[in-house]
Structure 1
Amino acid sequence: MAFLKNKHSIWFIFWLALLSLAIFAMPDESSLKSDQSVPDTYQSTQADKLANQFSKKDRGAKTVIAVYNNGKDPLVADQNKAIDATVTSLKANADKYHITGITDISDGAEEKSQLVSKDKSTRLVQLTVKTDDIPKMKQTLARATKAEHVASYITGSDILDQDFGDATSKGIAKTEVIAIIFIFIVLIFVFKSPITPLLSLATVGVSAIVGISLVYNMVKYFGLAYSDLTEAFIIIVLFGIGTDYNILLYNEFRSSLSQGLDKIKAAREAVRVGGRTILYAGLSVLIGMGTLYFSDFYLYKSAFGIAIGVAVLLAVLLTLNPFFMTIFGEKMFWPKKNFEEEGESRI
Structure 2
Amino acid sequence: MFERLGRFVVGKAWWVIGGWLLAAIAIVVTSPSLSDITSADQESFLPRSYESVQATELATKSFPQAATATATIVVKRSDGKPLTPADEARVGQLAQALKARNIPQTSGYLTGPQAVAPDKSVQIISVGLDADTPDDPKLLDAVRDLRADLGPDLAGSGLTAGVAGDVASFVDNEDTFNSAFAVVGVATIILIIGLILIIFRSPIAALLPVVVISVVMSVTTGLVAAAGKAFDLNVSQDLQTILLIVLFGIGTDYILFLLFRYRERLRAGDDKRTAMIVTVQRVGEVITSAAGAVIVAFLVLLLASLGFFGSLGPALAIAVAVMLVTSLTLIPALVSLLGRWVFWPSKAWQRTPKASLSRRLGAAVGRRPAVVAAASGALLVALAAGVLGYKADYDFSAGFPQDTESARAAKDLQRGFAAGALAPTEVYLTTGNGTPLTDQQVNDFAAASASAPGVARVQPPERSATDPSVARLNLLLDENPVSNEAISLVRDDLRDDLHAKAPEGTKALVGGPTAIFADINSANNRDLSVILPVAAGLIALILAL
Q: TM-score range by the shorter chain?
A: 0.7 to 0.9
Q: Which residue of 2 aligns with 1:235?
A: 244
1:343 aligns with 2:354: yes
The alpha carbon displacement at 1:110 in A equals 2.8
Separation (CA, whole Å) in 1 of partners of 2:280 and 2:77: 67
Structure-to-structure mapping, 1:188-267, within 5 angstroms = 188-267=197-276
Greater Cα offset, 190-199 or 333-342: 333-342
Q: Which residue of 2 aligns with 1:125?
A: 125
- Specify the structure having the higher radius of gyration (Cα): 2
Deviation per CA, 1:10-65: give whole Å up to 9, x if none: 11112212332344345445443416322212122223333444313x14543221
What secondary structure does 1:101 align onto? strand
Separation (CA, whole Å) in 1 of partners of 2:11 and 2:149: 65
What secondary structure does 2:228 align onto? helix
Separation (CA, whole Å) in 2 of partners of 1:39 and 1:344: 54
What letter corresponds to residue 131 of structure 2 in structure 1? T
Q: Unaligned regions of 5+ residues in structure 2, if any?
A: 1-9, 133-137, 359-545
> For residues 33 and 185 of structure 1, do their structure 2 counterparts lie closer, same or farther at Cα, with a shift above 3 Å needed?
closer
Separation (CA, whole Å) in 1 of partners of 2:13 and 2:209: 17
Separation (CA, whole Å) in 2 of partners of 1:252 and 1:263: 12
> For residues 186 and 33 of structure 1, do their structure 2 counterparts lie closer, same or farther at Cα, with a shift above 3 Å needed?
closer
Greater Cα offset, 161-170 or 123-132: 161-170
Contact 1:330 1:337 in 2 (8 A): no
Deviation per CA, 1:202-246: give whole Å up to 9, x if none: 222222221112112322443223110111111111111111111
Q: Which residue of 1 aligns with 2:139?
A: 134
1:11 aligns with 2:28: no
What letter corresponds to residue 126 of structure 1 in structure 2? S
Separation (CA, whole Å) in 1 of partners of 2:90 and 2:289: 68
Q: Which residue of 1 aligns with 2:398?
A: none
Separation (CA, whole Å) in 1 of partners of 2:291 and 2:174: 30
What secondary structure does 1:135 align onto? helix
The alpha carbon displacement at 1:130 in A equals 2.8
Q: 1:63 aligns with which of 70, 75, 94?
A: 70
The alpha carbon displacement at 1:320 in A equals 0.8
Q: Which residue of 1 aligns with 2:371?
A: none
Q: Which residue of 2 aligns with 1:39?
A: 47
TM-score, reference length from structure 2: 0.56
Identity of aligned residues (%): 26
Separation (CA, whole Å) in 2 of partners of 1:291 and 1:237: 17
Deviation per CA, 1:125-157: give whole Å up to 9, x if none: 101233333233233333244443555332334
What letter corresponds to residue 80 of structure 2 in structure 1? D
> For residues 151 and 22 of structure 1, do their structure 2 counterparts lie closer, same or farther at Cα, with a shift above 3 Å needed?
farther
The alpha carbon displacement at 1:81 in A equals 6.9
Separation (CA, whole Å) in 2 of partners of 1:73 and 1:60: 32
What secondary structure does 1:346 align onto? helix
Separation (CA, whole Å) in 2 of partners of 1:241 and 1:117: 57
1:175 aligns with 2:184: yes
Deviation per CA, 1:227-283: give whole Å up to 9, x if none: 101111111111111111111110000000011000000011111111210110011
Contact 1:8 1:323 in 2 (8 A): yes
Q: Which residue of 2 aligns with 1:74?
A: 81
Q: 2:98 aligns with which of 90, 93, 101?
A: 90
- Count of matched residue positions in the alignment of Structure 1 and Structure 2: 334
Q: Which residue of 2 aligns with 1:148?
A: 154
